[in-house]
Structures are given as C-alpha cells and as structure tokens.
A and B are shown apart, each in its own frame.
Chain A
Amino acid sequence: MYKRAEVKWREEGDGIFIFCPVRSEMFKLNATGRIVWAEIEKSLPDQIAKIISTEYNIDHETALKDVGICISDLVEKRLVMEV
C-alpha cells in the first residue's frame, strides 16, 4: 500500500485529519486509524494489528478485523493505493 502523493494530513489529539486537495475532501481517523495511517506503507495488516492489539490490549483477531475495515475505507476514499 502507498499513500497517494497529493494527500496531506495532520495529527490532532489522538486522531488524524487527512485532506485530499484533489477532491477537497477531509476525513478524520480515530486513534486506531492513526496507527494504520502511520504504518500502512511499511507494515503488513497483520503487523499493524499486532501494534494495535498491544497498544489497546485487545485480541489480535479483533484488531486485524479493524485494520482490514480501515484499509478498505482508505482505499475506497482513494487516499491509498494498492501496490
């Protein structure tokens, strides 16, 4: 996965704002989404899930499911692209 070059973001509190200047749309991700965004270009979903699972003390399966939903959402919103 890689972030689209035109996308800009800023961390705010425990979340993150992501802005696509091409479509002038803004999205806000929560704390989980922030971790996904930070890791998406360098880690596999399973690895990201492990980070989240440790951070929030939740089981790996739940974390992996959340990561999958988040990534699908980012792809649908055209903020990231699959390699």
Chain B
Amino acid sequence: MIEVLNTPLFLTWEVTNRCNLRCKVCYNASTDMHPSEINESEASFIIDAIADCKPIFVNLTGGEPFLRPDIVKIAKRFIDKGTDPQLATNGSVYNEEMFLQMKSIGVKSIQVSFDGFEAAHDAIRGSGSFKRALKTLKFLIDNGFSAKVGTIVTRLNYLDIAEFTKYFYELGIKKLGVFRFVPTGRGRENQSLQLDADDLVWLQEKLEQLESRYGIAFFKCDHSLAVFLGKKKNAGGCELGLKCLCIKPNGDVLGCPFFPVVLGNVRETSLVKIWQDSPILKEIREDIRPERLLGKCVNCPNGIKEKCRGGCKALAYETTGSIRQPDPRCWR
C-alpha cells in the first residue's frame, strides 16, 4: 500500500529561471527570468507556504539562485521560520560579500556543481566555469560552510568518478551528490550523454566502494542510482507523489523537478492543499502502485517493485508518455 504523508518532506524551490550558464544537461533550459517569476514581495508568501508543510529538507535552486538579488533575504526568512535551506549553485557567480552574508544569517549548506574535471565540466557548462566553481567551493570551505559537491554523471565524466571523489575528498568535501542525467529541458538535445543500464550498475557499485574507502557520504536522487536495489540498503525508488514537491519560478507546482505535469500554482492554491487534494497527484499515487506497473515491471518480484516503483518516473514519462512504464535504463 502506498503511504501518503500529510505534507511533502522535501521541497525544491527554483527561485529563478535566470542563469548565466547554458549547461547541456540543464533539465530546465534555464536562461532568462521567467516572465511571471515570483517577485520579492511574493517571496515571503512562498516561504511561508513552504514552511507550513514542515519539510525536513528545502533546496533552493534555479536557474542560478545567486543571481536573485533578494536571495539572502529569502534564505534569512527560511531560517527565521526554523527551516535550514540548502542552496544549489553552479559556482560561477563569485560574490564573497553575499557568501559571507549567508554565513552571518546562518546558512550552512551550499552545494556547488561540478560535472567532472575541468575538460568535461567546461564541455558541459562552458569555458572557464570549472575554475570559477572551484574558486567558489574553496571560499565556502575556507569560511566554514558545510559545502557539498553535486555532479551529474554523463558519458563525459562517469569513468573518472574515483579520481573525482579522491580530488574533492582531499579538498575537504564530505558530501558528494551523484545525480543521474535526466534528459529533459536543454538535456533533450544531448541525449547521447546518458549512461546506459550497465554503466549505471557499474557506477552504483563503484560508489559503494568509494563510500567505503573514503567515508564520504554519497547522496543521490531517489530516482537515480539508488533505484538499482540490492546494491545499497535504505535505497528507495522514485519519490514522485510520495515525498517531494517542486515549485517553479512562476509558482507552478510539480511533483518533481523533472516531471513536467503541473499540479497547481502556489499563487492560487496552498501547497498543503495541492499535496492533499490534487487529482493528478492522486492519479500518480494510484499508477505507481506495484500492481499497476507495466512492461518488464510486470515480471519483477514484488519486494523490488514496491520500493523501486519502476525507476525514474520522469524518464518513463518522457520516453513513453506513461509513468506506469519502467525506467528505460532499468538494468534488470
């Protein structure tokens, strides 16, 4: 039976669509501000709506959140509300004053994206972006932030994962996020960067060895590598409809950043009401039940199906139009 929580546990807020980079893997195709982006006067309302959900994890991202002039005020209001937000940045907006303001108001966790070493990273994110991100990361580490590294694994970087881990471990990073490339948004134009099923299994096993060797904590999107169960305990499947919501720059609410179906808009309907009453969410929760899954999931043991839920629902939807179909990269 699918357990439905009273409110989402994890919330992502894409505070802006504006970005100074044009990453090939961007699921949002972020460029300029959204024409009806949540403005500064509305931001408090959004923060309060998120706080009402009592989430245990809030991720502020974009676009590039540090391009938003009021990002420090946004972060401060979250902290005043008793929620510690994490910021996810591409690291190329280097602003020491802003970083130190974040520190002074109590922001602890900032994640900087690195899609491999310099050649691979710059091939994805643009020339010079690796150096700028590294400068940002070092500043954050030196100034006592709980800095994390986030990496999107693609054909350009996955084989370097051991050296990559060692490099950042030696810099002082204790948390490394490994995210699967989900080719939506601008990523649709770069599908060849995706890893195939065998590569993902190899990667999962490699991460477990590296975790053991360095004691570094790997965290992964639930729809990601942890889908390949039996390799890591406490791994869970896709959390669409079950634990997370995403607020887009214009207030649209999605079940997950990669899943394009709009559930409502936070300007019009409370997040709690969307979570509890959205007919689309109800349908999603119905469709991800093990007995409703199709394709190769039909013959998969119940013990796995119940946790895996057919893998990444965004990818299943992107490739087949149905969340009942399996993840196209399922290794079974």
Contacts and interface: CB of A to CB of B under 8 A. Distances in A.
A9 interface: yes
A10 B56 contact: yes
A27 B234 contact: yes
Nearest to A28: B3
Interface string B165-201: 0000000001101000000000000000000000000
Chain B interface residue number, banded: 10 to 19
B6 A12 contact: yes
Given A12-B5, A12-B6, A21 B174 contact: no
B214 interface: no
Interface in B204-222: 217-220
A8 B6 contact: no
Given A8-B56, A8-B57, A24-B217, A19 B9 contact: yes
Contact of B219 (A10, A17, A23): A23
A22 B219 CA distance: 8
Specify the main secondary structure of chain A where it touches its partner. strand
A82 interface: no
Given A22-B175, A24-B220, 14 more contacts: A9-B56, A10-B54, A10-B56, A12-B6, A13-B6, A17-B56, A19-B56, A21-B57, A22-B217, A23-B218, A24-B219, A26-B234, A26-B236, A27-B234
A23 B217 contact: yes
Interface residues of A, number: 14
A26 B220 contact: no
B325 interface: no
Contacts of B5: 12, 17
5 contacts: A10-B54, A17-B56, A22-B174, A23-B217, A24-B217
A12 B8 CA distance: 11
Contacts of A9: 56
Contacts of B236: 26
B109 interface: yes
B315 to A, nearest CB: 20
A24 B66 CA distance: 24
